[in-house]
Amino acid sequence: MTVSRLPINREVRVAQDLSATVFEDLDVNLFDLHIAAHSAAIGVLTGRTFRGCRLQGPAVMLVSAGVQFNDCNFGEPNGVMENLVLRPAGARALGTIPFRDTLFDGCEFYNVGFTGPDEILDVLLAVGKN
Amino acid sequence: MTDETPKMSAEEAAGRALVARTSFNKEAVWLPMLAVQHWNAGEMAITDKTFTDCVIEGPAVMAVMNGTVFDSCAMGATTDVKTLLYRPISKEKMAGVIGVGNCRFLRCRFVQVGFTGSDEMLAELETGIQTASGSAS
């Protein structure tokens, strides 16, 4: 039996190394993470692990292949996932922060929306309904 | 003897001054940071401002609220307007977006910014919007 990391009640610990691949028990601004990746010419944040982290927006995360959420609080107090999801009108999604092959384990999201392909959004929308 | 009134830090005071501004001219504006400064000041949306000849930078998705207009703006580096637009599923709340109401954007260039709003607003953006090769008016 695994023990949930939620809720995260520790003091704020702001992530300093935004190029790290593993973030554990840290607070991360998603737009800072994106800017750091962009300055390193990385378009998509890939191959990262966030464990026990608080992830802060304002940001809309583009969830693509290989992104997993395990035991996460998406930030909607009433569990209404519809309030967190935006459907892209086009084939691409500009203005978002794209993630691929990334694990979010025991994390909390603040002011973060989610978008992506329909099949991924449908899974997100089903969270809490089963 | 009375307690001393707590003073704002210089950073906080600068943030409040930014929030109080109503016009921005020929500046680069980092939209996520502007939003955070508003939230820190207790304002949940950016309202009543005019941006002229500015570069508005994301990454961000702007919730276009009542009274916001775009005049001769380059909305993004794409040939397909739809890649800039998002449809909210909920009609009540939207998370992760930056609300912008009663603002005027004149000859601005948007970089890494998407847009969302009501169905009517999205339809208007879809027909009126042009990308970096053109302009919206």
ipTM associated with this complex:
0.91
Q: What is the pLDDT along chain B (137 residues), one digit of tens a residue?
A: 566 667 788 888 888 999 999 999 999 999 999 999 999 999 999 999 999 999 999 999 999 999 999 999 999 888 888 899 999 998 888 999 999 999 999 999 999 999 999 998 898 888 866 555 444 55
- For residue B95, which residues of chain A lie inside 8 Å, CB to CB? 57, 75-76, 83-84, 111-113
- For residue A84, which residues of chain B lie inside 8 Å, CB to CB? 95-96
Report, in angstroms and rounded to the nearest whole number, the Rg of chain B calculated over CA atoms. Answer: 16
Closest Cα partner for A93 from A115, A120, A118, A119? A115
Q: Is residue A70 part of a domain?
A: yes
Q: Is there a contact between B83 and A92 if contact means CB atoms under 8 Å apart?
A: yes
Tell me the one-letter amino acid at B67: G
Q: Is residue A13 part of a domain?
A: no
Tell me the one-letter amino acid at B93: K
* Closest residue in A to B77 (Cα–Cα): A94
CA distance B14 to chain A (A): 20
Report residue A96 as tokens: 């978002």
What is the total count of domains within chain A?
A: 1
- Contact assessment for residue A95 and residue B113, using Cβ atoms and an 8 Å cutoff: yes
Closest Cα partner for A58 from B18, B44, B35? B35
Nearest CB among B96, B113, B122 relative to A112 is that of B96
Q: Is residue A3 part of a domain?
A: no
Among A33, A60, A111, A122, the strongest candidate for a mutation testing the B interface, having the largest count of B CBs within 10 A, is A60
Q: Is residue A34 part of a domain?
A: yes
- Of residues A77 and A8, the one with the higher pLDDT is A8
* Closest residue in A to B99 (Cα–Cα): A58
Report residue A22 as tokens: 């593993």
Structural domain range at position A36: 22-125
Phi, psi of B73 (to 5 degrees): -105, 150
Whether B64 and chain A come into contact, CB under 8 Å, resolves to no
Closest Cα partner for A86 from A109, A43, A66, A115? A115
* pTM, to two decimals: 0.90
